[in-house]
Structure 1
């Protein structure tokens, strides 16, 4: 991506003209913008652009481009959300912006364990990815929680997010309800739930995933949830 440099009235350039191998010759320092193009800027060009604009945090990135609130319009080719556009190579806002608030090399030593991270999401009632991103934007994410937890822990977001309150019955109430149907295995349970959606509205289709998220986890096994003995296949006594 080519970035034009406006004619300056003096020969002085920015104090730091070299950003990770890129010089100010390729970026805009004030209001200079990339040439109009239908192509999306590369990760490196976008990173250089952000640093040249003096953007130091994720929140500043989004505020900088809020035109209705006095911000500047994004130049052609510059994505609205770099973390999404460059998700295949993304390693966090600090690295993208060159701030390195938490050095990537030391993140594994300072970050919470996966179990503690799940407990943090539940404690703070973070039920959607959007809620987490808003919290990050407001600067409320602790440094021990990675900005991209799903990548750091190599899990799906659904494994981190808190269960939506009020959506399902509590574990013990759900288990007692399911026991009354005397299902013989989870396939029978899921088939019955699929054919009776209103009756099972408060019972999750994947109770093993939902109730493993509780703190501490309440899920033990399908036989326990459905109410039968794994070996004898007989019903459990209540």
Structure 2
């Protein structure tokens, strides 16, 4: 008995509805008992396509970040964040506010003047 899989468009819609944005998320979800039989566990092999054609796009969080000025103001008022190393440590420890990007030099590249300016307001 062969299983007939849904068309690729249905699989893409399924990924979007379930918010499956990475291969790891897909793999973990496909191991659960409630995984639909009509959705292949390895769709890239069935449809001969790339995972990027199947997975839901990641949400664009850029609009959720504070402006450069707001983020810089908040960080300059934190006594324990004075260097890039302090900032990275804060992120690893889970203390970085979610509305401040983990890579501010990329997010704020148009107005980036270096770590001292961002963290301490120095020029």
Which protein has greater RCO, CA pairs closer than 8 Å, 6+ apart? 2
Rg larger in structure: 1
Point out the structure with the larger helix share.
Answer: 2
